[in-house]
């Protein structure tokens, strides 16, 4: 028997567990909710990746951890020149070191639901969008897009082994690509001497063992646009944009009209 002055807090708290879920069930519900939330965020908002190679130096270093945002693609948004994007392998672009995934089953599962960074994708900079013609190079070794030379000093790696131009992965400084077809982009790494990008997949004069058009990345393979670098902590933050393309006209005069 209790009096009106006796505290009832302990009795109320102790009895609440019997009226609700047991502890193990509550734990399962919380874990399931966390997984669903993580999957939702990965699918709709952001996804974590690691940088698998040196192809985007100096801005992004090998093994950096980044977050890619997906909201810029909502409602038909398209990538823009200068964007750093993450995309699925169009076919034969990835090399062995860039496709490795966590060997630990737990890490692999966490990567799949978006709780750990994953690989198996490529990270490159958009150089050309539909209608663009990219040429290498002018008398100063600069890439041109639709006839306008690009000042890429702010983001391209200065490599003493790369001389003459900003597009040496083909082995020469005399090539052109485009017009870029609708629904695709032309991409390059910032480390122009060590980036298996669109330039590597072009059909150059005299080549026969290549497929025309393989240099262009379909936009439906694009996962998202670089948003934040989250590791190492010393470099945490957004990666600034570039004004290198601000004077480039919308489409090359040689490009067919968009359908």
Q: Which residue has the tokens 């490009």?
A: 255
The residues, any chain, with a CB within 8 Å of residue 141's CB and separated by 6 or more, are 164, 165, 166, 173
> Which two three-digit tokens encode residue 74?
């909502």
pLDDT in tens, 213-232: 899 999 999 989 999 898 88
Q: How far apart are CA 169 and CA 196, in angstroms?
A: 7
Which of 53, 55, 195, 252 is the catalytic position?
A: 55
pTM summary value: 0.77
> Which two three-digit tokens encode residue 84?
């750093």
Which of 42, 53, 70, 124 is the catalytic position?
A: 124
- How many other CB atoms are there within 10 angstroms of residue 60's CB atom? 23
The residues, any chain, with a CB within 8 Å of residue 123's CB and separated by 6 or more, are 49, 51, 52, 55, 56, 60, 66, 84, 85, 86, 226
* Below-50 pLDDT ranges, the chain: 8-18, 115-117, 259
Contact 200, 170 (CB under 8 A): yes
Establish whether 160 is a catalytic residue: no
Establish whether 16 is a catalytic residue: no
Q: Which residue has the tokens 């934040």?
A: 228
Q: How far apart are CA 131 and CA 252, in angstroms?
A: 6
pLDDT in tens, 117-169: 455 789 999 999 999 999 999 999 999 999 999 999 999 998 877 778 888 77
At 136 the pLDDT is: 92
């Amino acid at each position: 028997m209790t009096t009106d002055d006796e505290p009832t807090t302990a009795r109320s708290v102790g009895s609440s567990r019997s009226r609700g879920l047991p502890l193990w069930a509550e734990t399962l519900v919380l874990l399931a909710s966390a997984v669903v939330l993580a999957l939702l965020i990965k699918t709709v908002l952001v996804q974590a990746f690691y940088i698998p190679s040196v192809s985007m130096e100096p801005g992004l270093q090998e093994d950096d951890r980044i977050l890619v945002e997906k909201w810029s693609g909502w409602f038909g948004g398209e990538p823009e020149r200068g964007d750093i994007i993450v995309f699925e392998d169009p076919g034969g672009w990835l090399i062995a070191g860039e496709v490795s995934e966590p060997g630990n089953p737990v890490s692999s599962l966490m990567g799949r639901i978006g709780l750990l960074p994953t690989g198996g994708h490529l990270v490159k900079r958009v150089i050309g969008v539909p209608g663009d013609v990219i040429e290498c190079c002018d008398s100063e070794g600069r890439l041109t897009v639709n006839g306008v030379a690009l000042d890429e000093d702010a983001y391209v790696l200065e490599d003493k082994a790369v001389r003459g131009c900003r597009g040496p992965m083909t082995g020469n400084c005399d090539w052109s690509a485009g017009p870029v077809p609708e629904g695709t982009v032309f991409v390059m790494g910032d480390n122009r001497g060590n980036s298996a990008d669109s330039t590597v997949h072009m059909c150059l004069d005299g080549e026969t063992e290549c497929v025309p058009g393989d240099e262009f990345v379909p936009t439906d393979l694009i996962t998202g646009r670089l948003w934040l670098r989250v590791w190492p902590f010393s470099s945490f933050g957004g990666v600034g944009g570039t004004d290198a393309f601000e004077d480039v006209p919308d489409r090359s005069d040689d490009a067919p009209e968009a359908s």
